[in-house]
Structure 1
Amino acid sequence: MKKNGMINRELAAVLARMGHTDQLTIADCGLPIPEGVPCIDLSYKLGKPGFTEILFELLKDFEAEKVYIAEEMKAENIEIYEEMERVGSPFTEVSHEELKELSKQSKVIIRTGEATPYANCILQSGVIF
């Protein structure tokens, strides 16, 4: 049995397969899942698990060199936006429509139960050396 890090077997497997510049999306419960992109659905009730809970746990085991968020987040979800500033990686603001288009390139979408507007991000994999 795994002792440390991500214990969810699907998430651990995805993280192990990520290479430099590969992307993954962490989504609220309303983001459309593009056809053909695998989805790991962690939601179990409205609001649970939360977006930031999953984001910061994932970042303990994942090197993100860049983060994409919807520019609408700043006006419509300031609480999550302020949490995004703690990520420690540069983030790029794009329109929500652009974020949905970019999510089509993700290796996986991790769906949370988050039920607040624009609580989505795309993490681009960095390297650890």
Structure 2
Amino acid sequence: MKKSALINSELSYVIATLGHTDEITICDAGLPIPNETQRIDLALIPGVPTFIETVKAVLGEMQIEGVIMAEEFMKVSPAHHEALIGLIREEEAQCGKSINLSYVSHEEFKIHTQNSKAVVRTGECTPYANVIFQSGVVF
């Protein structure tokens, strides 16, 4: 469910059409994207846009109630993982609701992306900088 304005029309449209529990994935530049899943490719050059910038933009627009990450993200890229967790905690404080965090193996994560309405590809080149957001409701 949409919360506010976003300039990218494809991304804004996908978020506007999400129903409760629908999912979108935000990924680094290297995550394989299933052919049957809508790809929103924001990547310009390595590092642009960043994973965290993209997450901030999406969280400004999308109400979330669940998050899925690869276990490897926390271990291999702890700074990016902590930045993401910080944004999720801020989102919880703003919406007054807890957000469920789940971890799966990277292989399970890649399979799970097939359930996403869209995969948003960033220019991020940090290993395992990927997240699946489950849509919540604003009420």
- Tell me the TM-score range normalised by the shorter chain: over 0.9
C-alpha separation between the residues in 1 aligned to 2:5 and 2:128? 27
C-alpha separation between the residues in 2 aligned to 1:81 and 1:12? 25
TM-score in terms of structure 1 length: 0.95
Q: 2:118 maps to what in 1?
A: 108
Identity of aligned residues (%): 44
- The DSSP-based 3-state class of the residue aligned with 1:102 is helix
Q: 1:67 maps to what in 2?
A: 67
- The DSSP-based 3-state class of the residue aligned with 2:43 is coil
Pick from 98, 112, 115 the counterpart of residue 108 of structure 2: 98
C-alpha separation between the residues in 2 aligned to 1:42 and 1:51? 10
C-alpha separation between the residues in 1 aligned to 2:75 and 2:9? 36
Amino acid at match of 1:118: Y
TM-score in terms of structure 2 length: 0.88
Number of aligned positions between the proteins: 126
Query: Runs (4+) of structure 1 moved beyond 6 Å?
Result: none
**Aligned-pair distance for 1:65?**
0.2
Amino acid at match of 2:66: K
Q: 1:38 maps to what in 2?
A: 38
CA RMSD of aligned residues (A): 0.9
**Aligned-pair distance for 1:16?**
0.7
C-alpha separation between the residues in 2 aligned to 1:7 and 1:25? 18
Correspondence list, 1:1-129, <5 A: 5-86=5-86, 87-88=88-89, 89-129=99-139
**Aligned-pair distance for 1:90?**
2.7
In structure 1, stretches of 5+ residues that fail to align are none
Amino acid at match of 1:117: P
C-alpha separation between the residues in 1 aligned to 2:110 and 2:73? 14
Cα deviation 1:75-103 (Å, max 9, x = unaligned): 10001110121213331111000110110
